[in-house]
Structure 1
Amino acid sequence: MGTIKTILLTGATGYLGSRLLDKLFREDYAVCIIKRKSSSLKQIEALKGNYKLYDNDEESIERLFFENKIDLVIHMATAYGRKGESILEIKSANLDFPLLILKNAVANNVKYFINTGTSLPYLANLYSLFKNQFSECLEFFSAQITSVNVLLEHFYGPGDDDTKFITAMIRKMKSNVADIPLTAGIQIRDFIFVDDVLDAYFAIIANLNRFSGYTNLPLGSGEGVTIRKIVENIKRQSKSTSDLQFGAVAMRENELMKSDADISLLKELGWSPKYTLEKGLKITIDSIKI
């Protein structure tokens, strides 16, 4: 664990955050969790570890930093805008809330901040707009806190949200939905299995002393694949009878045509993905019961 003993984690009640929390407990880290008052603790109530819960209002956050010596902040909380969130809710989750954390971290001389950013370009959507604005805030304060901005590609795995592309496609195809309208599917994406994402975060934690200032760190499998190939793979592995109607949906106006991570820096830290797309999809497909 080195000099990192107590970690502040946001997003711990979500899919990725709860899995990271479990791994942090297994490595005996003490964790302070910031959550919305309305957040369900279902994802973490069975986990066993040393943690304290705080709400995400300004008073609670200031109290958290007063009561604990935080060595590292890991920010994973987010709002994608897929669940009907307003523009202000998306801005609050992806800019205002982490900025409040950052302000207190700097004021309390926290040494490190790992931010879960996005590989999406600035103006792709509201989510990426505010995510990228916060990364600029981290860069602005880089003389006062060492920040690693993880440019996370599309991750997937068992138990993920049905609003996510992979999970949604698996459910439709395992249900043998008759017709599935899709774009032409020529967009190239980098999909990474959740366990590889978690291992990458631990590689970063183990090597924090190698970072200084502000660093963008791409995280994906390192291999781009077309949406069409991914969807056809899911159909084959799930033995679905669904008709994949490529070209039935028009491309979005700001569609990103290629996204794949340069993982050379992570490889220098001793990390490399363990799960191929074929293996990761099989595990995820097998986990979903219809």
Structure 2
Amino acid sequence: MSKILIFGSTGFIGQNFITGSKLDNDFRLIAPTRNACNLLNFTQTQNFIKKIKPGIILNLAYYGGVTSAIKYSQTNLVNNIKIATNILNSVKGNLRIKKIFFLSSSLSKEPKNTYAHIKAQTTSLSLALAKKWQLPLVILRPYNLYGPHDRRTVVYRTIASILKKQAFSLTAGRQKRDYLFIQDFVKILDLVVENWINFENYETYDIGSGKAVQMKQVFSRIFKLLNFKGPYQTKDYSPDEYWYQKADTKKVKAAIGRFQITLLESGLKQTISWIRESL
């Protein structure tokens, strides 16, 4: 049995992975809380990894909140670098480790905002250290995830505002995004773990639907599903707006095979149901 050590299990992705993973009995998931293993503490991180003896590490942790709207914070940058370096430093010379997967972000390909720059710098340093220390690190780069347990994206904010009958604002929605339902991402992570041997060290793998959809189409589908007739406020685009995002999934499909994608309307219906119950 291979032990899979998961850091960041209480976040949006982590919660969905812990509850939705369908890995078979060949794998055992171990997901410590911050109290059990504080990644900002090197000694605690090192001792925990030595105790658990994992075969694969999946790092989903991010300090400071996963949103492109965060303001610059030196603490965010320093702590995210510390999390990454503490994990890598803790497994130097550890021959039990078959693969280490770190999550990056689609925004880090062309960093324009604080969140993207922090992700890009953390990823760059992690890869440099992994190569120096000969650690089997792989970067997974998910695109626009949405679904249950998300409380930060425009999809969540729009749905929640309509359900609570609160005012909200949207752009004209000309931007294009590659939306991927979180439960699809969980299934893909299962395949990543099962096929870890197919992933090349120090490479980055895009994970998304492989299709770009205009935001105004997403807004329109939300309005239709909620029978929302308006009104809502309009706002200007961000000066650091991302206009087009689409994952290149050829590389990840070569490693894990083809995977099914939930249609946007179906994913939005499930997201709406979860938000109704959570409000």
Smaller-chain TM-score range? 0.7 to 0.9
Please point out which of 169, 183, 191 is paired with 2:179. 191
SS for the counterpart of 1:54 is coil
Distance 1:55 1:200 in 2: 27
Q: What does residue range 144-155 of structure 1 map to in structure 2 within 5 Å?
A: 144-155=134-145
Query: What is the alpha-carbon distance in structure 1 between the residues aligned to residue 91 and residue 78 of structure 2?
Result: 18
Change over 3 Å in CA distance of 1:279–1:129 after alignment to 2: same
> 1:164 — aligned with what?
153
Which residue of structure 2 lines up, in the alignment, with residue 50 of structure 1? none
- Mapped partners of 1:132, 1:190: distance in 2: 19
- Letter of the structure 1 residue corresponding to residue 245 of structure 2: S
Residue in structure 1 matched with residue 123 of structure 2 by the alignment: 135
Question: Is 1:30 the equivalent of 2:28?
Answer: yes
1:102 offset after TM fit, Å?
A: 1.2
Alignment: residue pair count: 268
Q: Give deviations 1:133-176, integer Å, cap 9, x for gaps.
A: 22223332237122221111111112322x22211111112234
Alignment-derived partner of residue 19 in structure 1: 16
Change (3 A) 1:9 1:81: closer
> Taking structure 1 as the reference length, what is the TM-score of the superposition?
0.83
Which of 119, 122, 140 pairs up with 2:106?
119
Counterpart CA distance in 2 for 1:239 and 1:32 is 42
- 8 Å CA contact 1:146, 1:211 repeated in 2: no
Deviation at 1:85, TM superposition (A): 7.5
Superposed CA RMSD? 2.4
1:180, 1:242 within 8 Å by CA — same for their partners in 2? no
Bigger proportion of residues as helix: 2
Aligned position for 2:264: 277
Q: Tell me how far apart the structure 2 counterparts of residues 36 and 68 of structure 1 sit (CA, whole Å).
A: 15
Aligned-partner residue type, residue 227 of structure 1: M
2:38 maps to 1:55: yes
Q: Are 1:219 and 2:203 an aligned pair?
A: no
Quick check: 1:6–1:71 contact (8 Å CA) kept in 2?
Answer: yes
For 1:285 and 1:240, locate their aligned partners in 2 and report how far apart those are by CA, in whole Å: 13
Question: Which consecutive residues of structure 1, in runs of 5 or more, have no partner in the other structure?
Answer: 38-52
Residues 16 and 81 from structure 1, CA distance in 2 versus in 1: closer, same or farther, beyond 3 angstroms?
closer
Displacement of 1:95 in angstroms is 2.0
The percent identity for this pair of structures is: 22
Alpha-carbon displacement from aligned partner over 1:108-151 (angstroms, at most 9, x marks no partner):
23231111110003432222112112222333223712222111
1:228 partnered with 2:216: yes
- Structure 2 distance, partners of 1:93, 1:239, is 43
- Report the alpha carbon displacement of residue 23 of structure 1 after superposing the two structures with TM: 4.5
Cα pair 2:21 2:186 within 8 Å, conserved: no
Contact preservation (8 Å) 2:46, 2:91: no
Of 100-109 and 213-222, deviating more is 100-109
Higher RCO by CA contacts (8 Å cutoff, separation 6 or greater): 2
Query: What's the CA shift for 1:100?
Result: 1.0
Cα distance, 1:232 vs. partner? 1.0
What stretches of structure 1 move > 6 A for 4+ residues in a row? 83-86
Unpaired stretches in structure 2, ≥5 consecutive residues:
none
Q: Which residue of 2 aligns with 1:44?
A: none
Residue 49 of structure 2 is matched in structure 1 by 65
Q: Give 2:18's aligned amino acid.
A: L
